[in-house]
C-alpha cells in the first residue's frame, strides 16, 4: 500500500511540473444519484476530499478538457449543472430537456452534448453561453456519448434502437447509424479514434466498431448486464462493468477475448481510467463506493467510500 | 402465418421496449438486523432459495433448480399474488445470495393519463436483491438490500406506481422478513 501511494505521489509531482496552472492531483467526480451530490475523490490521497450538493438526481458526468469545469447531468432537473472545480460549487444550472442523461464535452471545450432519453435527440450546448444551439434527432433512448479525439465526430449509443449513431460535429448532422448488440448503454473510444467499444446491457456483450465506416468488427461476450467500459494501458485492455454480478470484465483488445474477471462492489456502473492510464476507477451503485483497480496486476487496490447511488456515468476524471 | 409472426414480433418488441426504459431513477432499500443466534443457525433458516416460509407474507414457495445460479422460485403471497424470482449469485461460503424478480402477477388495473396500467403485486420494476448473514461472535448480522425502479416507466407516474409506493412496499417486505427471521432464529 505504502509503495503504491509513493508512486501516485511521484506521478502527481511530475504532472504538476508539466501542466499549466490548473494542475493538481487528478480528481474523480462521482455523481451520487440518490444523495443528490457529487463526491470529489483526490486520487493521490485515495479519498473523498469534498462533497458538493447537486439537486436533480445527478447521473452523467463530463469533465471539461481544460479541467476547470465539470458538467453533471441532472435528469430530474431536466438539464445539467456546471461545477467549478476551484470553488467546488455549482455555478450554473442549465435547463435542456426532459430526459437529460448522457453528457460529453467536446475535445476543444467549446461545446457540451446532452443525450435526451425521452425525446430521442442530442442537444448541442454552447459552453460559453450555455444555450442550446442545435437539437439533433438520433435513435431511441440515447444514453452513452463519446467524442472522437480529433473532435470531428460524436458517437451515441441508442439504447432502445440497439444502435450506435455517428454525428458529424462540423455540420451537426447525423452521419450514419449501425446496429449493435441489445440495449447498448456506455461506450468508449481509443486514443487514435479508430475503435469504439459499446457495452450492451441486454445481450451481455461488447460490440467493437471501427469508426471510419462505422462497422462492427467483433462481439465479445462479458458478464451479466454490462453497463459501461474504459480503456487502459495504451488501449491494450478494456474494462467493462457488469452491473448484475458485481464484477469487471477485462478484455485484451488485441485478441478481443476476456482475459480476467475482477470482483468489485455491488452494481458497478460508471468506469473511468485515471490519467496515469493504469488505474481504473469503478463506481459501485449499491455499495456507495468506488473500487480502484490496478490495470496491470488486475487487482482491486483500494475501495473509497462515496455516496448513495454512486453512478458516475461518463468521463469523470479531471486531468 | 406470416402475418401472425409479424404481429407477435412487433408486440414483443413493443413489450421489450417498454419493460426496459429506465428514465426514472433506480431506488434502493437496505435493512439490517442483529440476531442473538449463531450465523450458521440463521443461515440454515434462509439458505434454501426454494423455501421462503420464514417470511410471514409468503404463503407458499414453489421452486426449481435448487440453490444454483439460474434456479427459480414462485412465491405466492398471502393475498394470492405471485412473484417469480431467479438466483443470480449463490455463495454458500459467504452465506449470501442475490436474486432478481423475473415476473409478477397484477394486483390491480388502473387508468392513468387515459391508459390502462397494470400495477404489479410489488409496485417495482427491474428488482434485484441480496441477502447476507454475517457472523459476529455468537450473534449474527443479517443484511438485506434491494435495488429497483418504480413500476411506472414514463414521466409523471400515478400514485400507485411512483417512487414512494415502491419504496414503502419494498421497505415493508424487508423489515417484516427480518423481524420474523430474528424471532425464528432466537427461538
Residues B152-185: tens digit of each pLDDT: 988 789 999 999 999 999 999 999 999 999 999 9
Determine which helix (DSSP H) or strand (DSSP E) holds B131, and give its type and residue range: strand B124-136
ipTM greater than cut 0.90: no
Q: How far is CA B126 from CA A81, A162, A196, B76, B104, in A?
A: 28, 19, 28, 19, 11
Task: Return the beta strands (E) in B68-123 as ranges.
Answer: 72-77, 82-91, 96-104, 106-112, 115-120
Put simply, whether B100 touches A (Cβ < 8 Å) is yes
Residues of A with CB under 8 A from a CB of B: 33-34, 57, 59, 75-76, 98-99, 117-118, 140-141, 159-160, 183, 202, 224, 244-246, 266-267, 285-286, 308-309
Distance CA B140, CA B8 (A): 51
Q: What backbone torsions phi and psi does residue B44 show, to the nearest 5 degrees?
A: -65, -25
Q: What is the pLDDT of residue B23?
A: 59
In a domain, B11, yes or no: no
Stretches where chain A sits below pLDDT 50 are 1-23
Give A103→chain B minimum CA distance, Å. 15
What pLDDT does residue B164 have?
Answer: 95
DSSP B1: -
- Chain A residues with CB-CB distance to B143 below 8 A: none
**Per-residue confidence (pLDDT) for residue A319, from 0 to 100:** 61
Residue-wise pLDDT for A56-110, tens only, equals 999 999 999 999 999 999 999 999 999 999 999 999 999 998 889 999 999 999 9
C-alpha–C-alpha distance, residues A155 and A145, integer Å? 6
C-alpha cell at A187: 461506450
- Return the HEC string of chain A: CHHHHHHHHHHHHHHHHHCCCCCCCCEEEEEEHHHCEEEEEECCCCEEEEEEECCCCCCEEEECCCCCEEEEEEHHHCEEEEEECCCCEEEEEEECCCCEEEEEECCCCCEEEEEECCCCEEEEEECCCCCEEEEEECCCCEEEEEECCCCCEEEEEEHHHCEEEEEECCCCEEEEEEECCCCEEEEEECCCCCEEEEEECCCCEEEEEECCCCEEEEEEECCCCEEEEEEECCCCEEEEEEHHHCEEEEEECCCCEEEEEEECCCCEEEEEECCCCCEEEEEECCCCEEEEEECCCCEEEEEEECCCCECCEEECECC
Mutation for A interface: B28, B90, B166, most A CBs within 10 A? B28
Q: Give which of B14, B22, B93 to mutate to test A binding, by max A Cβ within 10 Å.
A: B22
In tens, the pLDDT along B57-95 reads 999 999 999 999 999 999 999 989 999 999 999 999 999
Chain A residues in contact with B25 (beta carbon < 8 A): 33-34, 57, 59, 75-76, 309
B43: domain CATH number? 3.30.530.20
B103 assigned to some structural domain? yes
**B9 within domain boundaries:** no
| Inside any domain, residue B18 | no
Asked if B102 is an interface residue toward chain A (Cβ–Cβ < 8 A), one would say: no
pLDDT, mean of residues B4-11? 50
Centre a 10 Å sphere on the Cβ of residue B103 and count the other Cβ atoms it contains. Answer: 12
Q: Could you say which DSSP state residue B14 is in?
A: H
Residues β-bridged to residue A215: A210
Interface contact flag, A244 B17, Cβ < 8 Å: no
Q: Tell me how far CA of residue B121 lies from CA of A175, A285, B150, B167, in angstroms.
A: 45, 26, 12, 13
Give the domain range for residue B177. 24-185
Total domain count, chain B:
1
Q: Which of B128, B148, B152, B156 to mutate to test the interface with A (most CBs of A within 10 A)?
A: B128
pLDDT of residue A4: 45
The β-bridge relationship of strands A60-63 and A313-315 is parallel
Which grid cell sits at A166?
455517428
Query: Which residue among B20, B88, B155 sits closest to A245, beta carbon to beta carbon?
Result: B88
Please check whether residue A174 is in contact with residue A142, taking contact to mean a CB–CB distance below 8 angstroms: no
B10 in any annotated domain: no
For residue B168, is it within any domain? yes
Q: Report the alpha-carbon distance of residue B32 to residue B81 in Å, rounded.
A: 26
CA pair distance B25, A313, nearest whole angstrom? 13
What is d(CA A82, CA B57) in angstroms, rounded to the nearest whole number? 47
Distance CA A26, CA A17 (A): 14
Can you give the pLDDT at residue B153?
83
Q: Which residue's C-alpha cell is 479531471?
A: A318
Q: What's the pLDDT at A287? A: 93
Note whether residue B125 is domain-resident: yes
- Decide which of B87 and B1 is more confident: B87
B contacts of A159 (beta carbons < 8 Å): 20
Which chain A residues are within 8 Å of B89, Cβ to Cβ?
A: 245-246
Q: Cβ of A137: how many Cβ atoms within 10 Å?
A: 12
The 10s digit of each residue's pLDDT in A278-293 is 999 999 999 999 999 9
- Average model confidence (pLDDT) across chain B: 89
- Name every chain A residue with its beta carbon within 8 A of the beta carbon of B100: 244
Using a CB-CB cut-off of 8 Å, the residues of chain B touching A266 are 130, 145
Cβ contact, residue pair A33, B27, below 8 Å = no
Tell me which chain B residues have a C-beta less than 8 angstroms from the C-beta of A57. Answer: 25
- Is B158 domain-assigned? yes
| C-beta separation of B129 from B143 below 8 A | no
pLDDT of residue B5 exceeding 90, the answer is no
Test A246 with B89 for CB contact under 8 angstroms.
yes
- Given an 8 Å threshold on Cβ–Cβ distance, is B20 in contact with A202? yes
- Interface A-B: count of C-beta contacts within 8 A: 46
Which pLDDT score is estimated for B4?
Answer: 52
Q: How many angstroms separate the Cα of A245 from the Cα of each of A265, A268, B90?
A: 9, 9, 11
Q: Counting Cβ atoms within 10 Å, is residue A14 exposed (0-12), middle (13-18) or buried (19+)?
A: exposed
Hey, what's the cell of A121?
A: 435527440
B17/A contact by beta carbon, under 8 A = yes
Cell 441532472 found at: A74
Cell 455463495 belongs to B91
The answer to whether the CB atoms of A286 and B27 lie below 8 A apart is: no
* Residue A52 neighbours by CB under 8 Å, 6+ apart: A37, A38, A40, A83, A88, A89, A90
B183 touches chain A (CB under 8 A): no
Chain B closest CA to A160's CA: distance in Å?
6
Q: Please name every residue paired with B117 in a beta bridge, in sequence order, or none if there are none.
A: B110
Tell me the C-alpha distance between B88 and A224, whole Å.
9
B143 CB within 8 Å of a chain A CB: no
- Give the one of B23, B25, B130 whose C-beta lies nearest to A33's C-beta: B25
Do A266 and B17 count as a contact with CB atoms less than 8 A apart? no
Amino acid at each position: 500500500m505504502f509503495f503504491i501511494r509513493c508512486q501516485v505521489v511521484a506521478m502527481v509531482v511530475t504532472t504538476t511540473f508539466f501542466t499549466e496552472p490548473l494542475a493538481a492531483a487528478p480528481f474523480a467526480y462521482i455523481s451520487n444519484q440518490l444523495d443528490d451530490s457529487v463526491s470529489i475523490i483526490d486520487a493521490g490521497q485515495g479519498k473523498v476530499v469534498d462533497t458538493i450538493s447537486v439537486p436533480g438526481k445527478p447521473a452523467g458526468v463530463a469533465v471539461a478538457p481544460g479541467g476547470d469545469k465539470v458538467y453533471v447531468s441532472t435528469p430530474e432537473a431536466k438539464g445539467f449543472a456546471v461545477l467549478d472545480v476551484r470553488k467546488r460549487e455549482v455555478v450554473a444550472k442549465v435547463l435542456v430537456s426532459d430526459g437529460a442523461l448522457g453528457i460529453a464535452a467536446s475535445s476543444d471545450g467549446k461545446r457540451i452534448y446532452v443525450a435526451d432519453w425521452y425525446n430521442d435527440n442530442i442537444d448541442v450546448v454552447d459552453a460559453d453561453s450555455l444555450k442550446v444551439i442545435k437539437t439533433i434527432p438520433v435513435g431511441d433512448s440515447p444514453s452513452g456519448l463519446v467524442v472522437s479525439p480529433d473532435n470531428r465526430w460524436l458517437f451515441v449509443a441508442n439504447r432502445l434502437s440497439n444502435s450506435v449513431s455517428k454525428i458529424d460535429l462540423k455540420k451537426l448532422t447525423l452521419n450514419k447509424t449501425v446496429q449493435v448488440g441489445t440495449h447498448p448503454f456506455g461506450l468508449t473510444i481509443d486514443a487514435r479514434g479508430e475503435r469504439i467499444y459499446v457495452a450492451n446491457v441486454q445481450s451481455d456483450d461488447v460490440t467493437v466498431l471501427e469508426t471510419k465506416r462505422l462497422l462492427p468488427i467483433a462481439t465479445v461476450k462479458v458478464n451479466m448486464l454490462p453497463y459501461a467500459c474504459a480503456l487502459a494501458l495504451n488501449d491494450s485492455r478494456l474494462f467493462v462493468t457488469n452491473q448484475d454480478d458485481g464484477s469487471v470484465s477485462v478484455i485484451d483488445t488485441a485478441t478481443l477475448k476476456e482475459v480476467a474477471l475482477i470482483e468489485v462492489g455491488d452494481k458497478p456502473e460508471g468506469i473511468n481510467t485515471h490519467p496515469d492510464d493504469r488505474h481504473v476507477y469503478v463506481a459501485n451503485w449499491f455499495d456507495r463506493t468506488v473500487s480502484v483497480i490496478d490495470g496491470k496486476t488486475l487487482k482491486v487496490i483500494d475501495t473509497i467510500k462515496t455516496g448513495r447511488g454512486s453512478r458516475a456515468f461518463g468521463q469523470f476524471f479531471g486531468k | 402465418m406470416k402475418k401472425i409472426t409479424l404481429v407477435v414480433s412487433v408486440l414483443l418488441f413493443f413489450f421489450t421496449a417498454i419493460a426496459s426504459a429506465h428514465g426514472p431513477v433506480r431506488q434502493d432499500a437496505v435493512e439490517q438486523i442483529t440476531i442473538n443466534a449463531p450465523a450458521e443457525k440463521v443461515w440454515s433458516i434462509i439458505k434454501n432459495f426454494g423455501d421462503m416460509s420464514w417470511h410471514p407474507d409468503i404463503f407458499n414457495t414453489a421452486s426449481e433448480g435448487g440453490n444454483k445460479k439460474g434456479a427459480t422460485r414462485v412465491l405466492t403471497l398471502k393475498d394470492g399474488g405471485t412473484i417469480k424470482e431467479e438466483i443470480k449469485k449463490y455463495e454458500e461460503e459467504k452465506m449470501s445470495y442475490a436474486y432478481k424478480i423475473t415476473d409478477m402477477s397484477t394486483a390491480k388495473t388502473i387508468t392513468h393519463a387515459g391508459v390502462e396500467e397494470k400495477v404489479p403485486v410489488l409496485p417495482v420494476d427491474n428488482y434485484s436483491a441480496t441477502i447476507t448473514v454475517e457472523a459476529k461472535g455468537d450473534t449474527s448480522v443479517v443484511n438485506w438490500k434491494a435495488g429497483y425502479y418504480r413500476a411506472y416507466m414514463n414521466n409523471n407516474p400515478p400514485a400507485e406506481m411512483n417512487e414512494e409506493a415502491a419504496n414503502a412496499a419494498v421497505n415493508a417486505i424487508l423489515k417484516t422478513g427480518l423481524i420474523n427471521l430474528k424471532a425464528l432464529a432466537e427461538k
